[in-house]
């Protein structure tokens, strides 16, 4: 478990984008430059979702499940359309 909460990480990441250097932000919030750099990279990649519970990986898993569900629904609709087209 991280000692920094998601709101703090988001705040630091956004501040790092506005700031000239990572070291300025690190000094201001009394954290390491490595943390600032890592959090900003995650923010750039995932946006406001970067530090949500479960992380971006959970969002990807949720989206993959949604895609699978939609593909299954699509297959059912194709079979139904083929079935009903026989009786026209």
Contact 24/37 with Cβ under 8 angstroms? no
pLDDT, one tens digit per residue, over 31-79 is: 999 999 999 998 888 888 888 777 777 778 888 999 999 999 999 999 9
pLDDT in tens, 54-66: 777 777 888 899 9
Q: What is the pTM of this model?
A: 0.60
Domain boundaries, the chain: 6-85
Average pLDDT over residues 15-37: 92
Identify the band that residue 86 occupies on the pLDDT scale cut at 50, 70 and 90: confident
pLDDT at 51: 84
pLDDT for residue 62: 85
- Chain centre to alpha carbon of residue 66: 15
Distance CA 58, CA 56 (A): 5
Provide the 10 A C-beta neighbour count for residue 39. Answer: 25
């Amino acid at each position: 478990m991280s000692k920094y909460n998601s709101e703090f990480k988001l705040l630091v990441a956004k501040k790092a984008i506005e700031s000239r250097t990572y070291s300025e932000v690190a000094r201001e919030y009394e954290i390491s430059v490595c943390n600032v750099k890592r959090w900003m990279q995650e923010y750039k990649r995932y946006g406001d979702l970067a530090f949500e519970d479960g992380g971006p990986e959970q969002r990807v898993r949720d989206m993959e499940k949604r895609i699978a569900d939609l593909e299954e629904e699509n297959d059912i609709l194709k079979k139904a359309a083929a079935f009903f087209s026989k009786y026209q």
